[in-house]
Each structure stands twice: as C-alpha cells, then as structure tokens.
A and B are shown apart, each in its own frame.
Chain A
Amino acid sequence: MITGTGIVKTFKQRGNVLAGREVRALRGVDFAIPKGGAASFIGESGCGKTTLGRIIAGLESYDEGEVVIDGTAMSGLKPKQRQPHFRKIQMIHQDPYSALNPTRTVHQTLFAPLSLRAKQTGRSKGWIEERAAEVLSLVGLDPGSVLARYPHQLSGGMRQRVVIARALTVDPEMLVADEAVSMIDVSLRLGILALLKDLRERLGVSVLFITHDVATARYIGDDGELYVIYRGQVVERGAVDTVIADPVHPYTQSLLSAIPVLHGLERPGEQPVVPLSSLDATGDDTGCLFASRCPFRGERCDERPLLQVSEGFPQEHACFYPERRSVIARPLSEV
C-alpha cells in the first residue's frame, strides 16, 4: 500500500530572465494505491501528473506532505534508508529507445541488477541466468533469441518489454508506467497494456498508469481509480468507469469531449464541453483553477473548491456546481 497526503511541489525557475519565478506543480495532492491495485493519473501536459509519478517512484523530492510506503513514512528517513522502500517501485518510461543503454545487450542490461540482487540474497551465478530467462518469459519474449541482442536490433514493442523485464528483476511491488505505450506502434500497444494487466493478475504487482489517453487507462485498471489532475490539483477522483461514463467536473468533461469520435462506429456525446480558452499554466492562482476556461463558471468560483464528495455523486470532485453531462462517444450498436 502506497499513500500520499497533501503533496506539494513547487519548482523555482533558475538561470534566465524568469529566475525566481515559481511553478506550482502540485498543490496538496492525496492518493492511495492498494497492494495489487491500479490507479491512473490523467491530464494535459504540465498538469503535474509526471511529477507526481516521479515523487511516488522516489525520483523527485517534495516540499510538503507525506509519502507512506507499506506503513513507513518517507520524510523522516535518510536517503540511504529510503532506498530499499523506493526499490519496490519501478518506473517505466515513455521512450523505450532512450531508456536502454545502446552499448549493452539485453543480457548485460538484466545482468547488472540481477547480480546485485544475487549478492544481497546470497544466491549463485546460475540463479542470475535462470532469473534473466524467467523475467524475459514473463514479458512475453523468447530468452534464447533476445538475450544476445542489442537494443537497436529490437522493435519498439520488444524494447518496452525489455524495459519492463529489467524493472521486474528487483521484484517490485508497483510499476509506474509514464505514457508507456505512446511511442509504440498502434497494433502493438494493446499487447504492452495486456502485459501490464497480466503482471498485475499473475504477480500481484500494482500499476500506476500516467497518460493523457483515457481509454488506455481503462484497459489497465477498470477496477482501479482514475485521478484527473489539473494544474497540480486533483479535480476528480473515482472508479475508472464511473468517471469516464458520468464525469461531473467540467475539466474532466472537456478532456473526454476532446477524444476523437470514430464516425461510422460511434456517435458523439450529446453535451460536449469545450473550454473557453487554452491552458495558461501561469494564469490566475486564486479561486477555482479552471474557472477562467470554464463555460459553467458561477459566483462561488472565486473561491478554491476542494476535492470532496457531494450528495448524488459516487466520485470525489472539486467543483461547486457538479453536474453529469453526456460527453463521450457511444457505439452505434448501443441504442
């Protein structure tokens, strides 16, 4: 179980004319990802979803709040003491082309973390070879044919599988997949998504999926939670299918309305929501963060709404005027 409460992160610009200007990446975010569970963060680029993922994976510090891994609070610990905790959380990056060292074969890539692991647990060299073959089989690769290959000899999909195999060498409890399929060919994407889902089911690894493609979030964890993040604040949070089918925050509704409609197979939603302007991350910081773009702005929006539950809606939302709107495309076959 990995939880976070009130995570705040502010980046300070350095070394140019903007020096000293602050960017509020996260403004007090709470999250909880149960063991073996799934969660997805969605939002536009710059919303803070990647920063949050990096904080959870221990790759980024935070200014306020607390991350708790399996009951241990991280903020009181020295970096060395944190390491074994964050080892349980492994990151899968977007670009499998730059995530692998081009001068190392797959065997060398897997050998390094495995030999460290063998040393820690007092296992033999034979175990390393066995385990390397095992993790490759787990990700659907044939060890015999890929072990001796260099990254440039593999396709994008195979490389991403090698990256996942490398993450599995340290027996992680959670994988953080940041846009892990956006650079993979369309016909192979689903294979990688299915693999992550399969690892969840077979190994009990929890998966945190960071994406701007809502439908893929659904594929990874239709039993998990969806967090919609806007300018560093979670504006809607709930079961994946609830948030997708019945979104109540106007920002979530804008995101879902923007998904292309497969004309010929689907008909568009009846109440699409279009934001009034494009994202201005440096815009007004008082009141509701979405108010300047919101077509449904009301009197109360000069205040900042907090994420909360309100009557009649199963999900949490940060909006003073929540309302269900039919925004997503529906299959033509569904009458």
Chain B
Amino acid sequence: MAEQAPGVRIGGLTVVYKTPAGELPAVRDVSLTLEPGSITGIVGESGSGKSTLALSLLNAVQPPGRISAGSVEIDGLGNVAALKGEELRKARGRHIGYVFQAAQNSLNPLKTVGKQLLDLGRSHGVEDLRGLVRDAKELLGRMGLDGARVLDSHQHELSGGMRQRVGIMLALVLNAHLVVLDEPTTALDMITQANILKIVREVHAERGLTTLVITHDIGVVAEVADRLAVMYGGRLVEQGPTREVLGSPSHPYTKGLINAIPRLVGDIDEARALPGRPPTLATVPKQGCVFRERCALRMDVCDTVDPEAVAHGPRIVACHAVTVKEHA
C-alpha cells in the first residue's frame, strides 16, 4: 500500500443485526466518500449506527451483526467488506488505525503500555521492534508526553487524556494512513478535549492521513472536520462541507440538532429541544423516512417512500421536503 493518504468509498452499505424479530438494519444503504487527506466527521446520537459504520471500515462488525450489502473500497486494499481471515487481520492496524471509544478502558490493565506495544508489533510481524519503540516514543513526545515514562506505565497510572493519546499512538505506530477515531474526547474535560483535538489536527497534517471522526458532539466535528456527515436511524441524512452544513443546515434533523445546542451568548431560550426521541434498532420505521415522527416538514410521501440522498452542489441531503423545495 502506498505511503500516502488513501481515499475511501463506501457504497450502498447495509449492516444488519440478527434479533428475535429478524434481521434489523443498524446501517442502511449508506454511501460516503472520504477524500484522500481529508478529515470527515460523522455525527449521530446513540443508536444512529455511527459506530457500526466505523467498524465496517475494518470489516469488524461482530456477530450477530453482518455486512449484508454494499462495499467499502479503500485505495490500496480493495473492497474491505470482501476481505477475510489473515488478509483482513493484516490490513487492520497496519493500514487502518482505530482509536476505540472509551480509550480509557481499551488498554490491558495488567500490562504496561510498552508490553502492549510489543504485542502489537509481534502480531503484525514487525522485525525491528526497537525501531517500533523508537517510533512510539517519538509519537508520544510529539503529543506532549514523556514517551519512556508512558511506555513503562500501566493504564491506571495514566490520566484520561494521556490514555487517549496512547490510543492514538497505538493506532498510528504501524504507520497506518487511514485512521478512525470513535468518540475521541468523550469523558474528557474541556481543556483536555481541546488539547486532543489540536493533536488530532496536527498529527493528521504532519503524517498525511485520511481521518474519520465519529462523535455525538457537533462541537468536536466543528473543530476538526472538513466535511460533516449526519446520521439518524441508520441513514446518512445530510453531508457536506462542515462550515456550510453548520451555517445553513438543510435537513430538518440537522437543523434541530444545531438548535438544541445551548450557546454561550445571546438569548438562551432560543435553544430548543427536539420533540420525540431517537429510534432504536427495533423502532426504526421499516419504510418511509426514519425521521418523520419528529419532523415539522412531514408530508404524506414521507410515510411510504424512503427519501433518496440527492446532491445539491457539494451538499447531499436525504429529505423529500428539501428535494421538493430545490426543484420548485
């Protein structure tokens, strides 16, 4: 694989989970392109399918879940959704780095960070383990930590922000150029969060990465991402350049989400809660628009026909009301 930022093309991806009520889609017919060298942010609430989508990039959806349709094309790797066994194991870590949600708890409490680093190296057949340790120290140093000390530490000796940086180091140390960060700053303080986001931006630029950030926090995406994609009920409802989407959201859900953020200045009562609540796997409507129950623009067609994702310039929106307005 080339030593440069790969592009990623997710096409018509559907991921289903087997439940007593049959196979239910957690991600349904999602198409998303990550341009080489870009940072894309996916925003969604719990149950929106954002983490399942991220795992699909590694083809790591665990049973009872499976990818039932679509493809994930990564430059240099081909269709990851079709990879199996040893090939797949090698792609993970080596080409795709993944920083797990709650990195605070994803380290082995019984081993020092250094031992876990060596495990990682051996499992990927790294011959120059000294070089690996050197790279790890350099990366940690780059993120403002004392590399030697951190490698000698167990996870309980590190603060939340330090563990998160260790997670980023482990994702990057094998020289992956595609990095997925799942909720990178959840449970961190404001100041630590700002530090981590700064590190994500800088490391992204310095190492020439393609980065995907998954979060429930629009603020996080606003700080780091070039492009923003909004998920709801397993569907991608809107995507486009971050500033454009935040400045003039099209989809009623995106609008509602932005309106629900309390601000620091201005009339505090302008912030409005969205009515209703997000659907779960079991309550997602089988047909029609997934957002219609909470939507102020609901029309008859929304009950029966799932809105297609339609491109309006760089913006892609899946909403009947928006499509009608654009064509009027």
Contacts and interface: CB of A to CB of B under 8 A. Distances in A.
B264 A214 contact: yes
B191 A215 contact: no
A215 B261 contact: yes
A332 B260 CA distance: 18
A215 B262 contact: yes
Contacts of B194: 257-258, 260, 274
Contact of A185 (B189, B243, B244, B277): B277
A186 B45 contact: yes
B257 A265 contact: no
Interface string B216-250: 11111011000000000000000000111111000
B90 interface: no
B260 A187 contact: yes
B191 A254 contact: yes
Contacts of A260: 193-194, 197, 217, 219-220, 222-223
A334 interface: yes
Interface in B263-301: 263-266, 268, 271-274, 277-278, 280
Contacts of A83: none
Contact of B274 (A187, A258, A259): A187
Contacts of A257: 194
B132 to A, nearest CB: 26
A125 B257 CA distance: 44
A330 B278 CA distance: 30
A212 B263 contact: no
A322 interface: no
Contact of A331 (B161, B193, B266): B266
Interface in A252-281: 254-265, 274-275, 278-279
A321 interface: no
B144, B189, B191, B222, most chain A CB atoms within 10 A: B191
B-side interface size class: 35 or more
B8 interface: no
Nearest to B260: A190
A158 B278 CA distance: 12
B232 to A, nearest CB: 9
Contacts of A187: 45, 256-257, 260, 273-274, 277-278
Contacts of A157: 277
Interface of A: 44-45, 155-158, 185-191, 193-194, 212-216, 218-219, 222, 244-245, 254-265, 274-275, 278-279, 328-332, 334
Given A157-B277, A213-B190, 11 more contacts: A44-B192, A45-B189, A185-B45, A188-B277, A215-B262, A258-B191, A260-B222, A262-B218, A274-B194, A278-B192, A334-B266
28 contacts: A186-B216, A186-B217, A186-B218, A187-B45, A187-B257, A188-B273, A189-B273, A190-B260, A190-B272, A216-B262, A219-B271, A244-B264, A258-B191, A258-B193, A259-B264, A261-B219, A261-B223, A262-B222, A262-B246, A263-B223, A263-B243, A264-B243, A274-B194, A275-B191, A278-B161, A330-B265, A331-B266, A334-B266
